[in-house]
């Protein structure tokens, strides 16, 4: 299977089954990285940071980023098309059938089951991000296993600079009146500058 066909297929599956929006794609992206070796979990967190700081839906941004990393510009286009194709197909089908089945108890029950499923996927993705960014705990799934293992990658449990930056941003975006109204891109830019300064300070 060529890399372009593999990109389309992997992101087609992600777009088809990642119910719950962009953050729900993270478990699928983690699985893609482990199965293909295209990127590490740290690379995935960097991709997430870039995708969150650029316009557009995060799931599509991630597909474009991964596709470009793996296959250049053609890879970016193919991965993005693979990501959005299931949504286009499903939305067209739902739009055609929703009027007829809008009051169906079966349809309502199906959506009732989908809501907690999407919440669980997003929650799992958030836990993985928190562990990777704010602690020194690494999560990985051994080959042939369905259970994650956790291990310390640093000398301590917590990533104190990351925790401090997260706490400062939480305060300034929620409780300090002059700054809470600022556009999120301001905080993203400040965080990027802090990261650069911190990395230079380590050398």
Would you tell me the crossing angle of helices 3-17 and 26-36 to the nearest 10 degrees? 150
Question: Residue 175: CA atoms inside 13 Å, Cβ hemisphere, count?
Answer: 5
Instruction: Name 117's Cβ contacts closer than 8 Å, sequence gap at least 6.
Output: 19, 20
End-to-end CA gap in the chain: 43
Secondary structure class of 38 (helix, strand, coil): coil
The per-residue pLDDT for range 16-61, each reduced to its tens digit, is: 887 766 677 888 888 888 888 888 888 888 888 887 777 777 888 8
Ordered alpha helix ranges (H), 53-104:
58-101
**Average pLDDT of the residues in 172-176:** 86
The per-residue pLDDT for range 49-80, each reduced to its tens digit, is: 887 777 777 888 888 988 998 889 999 999 99
Do 180 and 173 touch, CB atoms closer than 8 A? yes
CA distance linking residue 159 with residue 133, whole number of Å: 7
CA distance linking residue 46 with residue 54, whole number of Å: 13
> What pLDDT score was predicted for residue 12?
93
Do 134 and 158 touch, CB atoms closer than 8 A? yes
Q: Which pLDDT band, with edges at 50, 70 and 90, does 110 fall under?
A: confident
When the pLDDT of each residue in the chain is averaged and rounded to a whole number, the result is 81
């Amino acid at each position: 299977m060529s890399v372009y066909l593999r990109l389309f297929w992997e992101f087609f599956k992600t777009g088809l089954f990642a119910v719950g929006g962009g953050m729900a794609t993270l478990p699928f992206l983690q699985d893609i990285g482990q199965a293909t070796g295209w990127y590490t979990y740290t690379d995935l967190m960097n991709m997430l940071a870039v995708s969150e700081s650029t316009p557009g839906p995060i799931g599509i941004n991630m597909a474009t980023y991964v596709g470009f990393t793996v296959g250049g510009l053609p890879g970016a286009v193919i991965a993005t098309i693979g990501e959005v194709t299931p949504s286009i197909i499903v939305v067209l089908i739902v739009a055609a059938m929703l009027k007829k089945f809008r009051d169906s108890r079966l349809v309502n029950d199906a959506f009732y089951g989908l809501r907690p499923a999407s919440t669980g996927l997003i929650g799992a993705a958030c836990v993985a991000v928190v562990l990777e960014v704010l602690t020194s705990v690494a999560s990985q799934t051994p080959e042939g296993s369905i259970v994650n293992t956790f291990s310390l990658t640093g000398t301590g449990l917590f990533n104190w600079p990351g925790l401090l930056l997260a706490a400062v941003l939480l305060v300034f975006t929620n409780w300090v009146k002059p700054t809470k109204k600022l556009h999120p891109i301001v905080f993203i830019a400040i965080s990027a500058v802090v990261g650069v300064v911190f990395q230079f300070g380590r050398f």
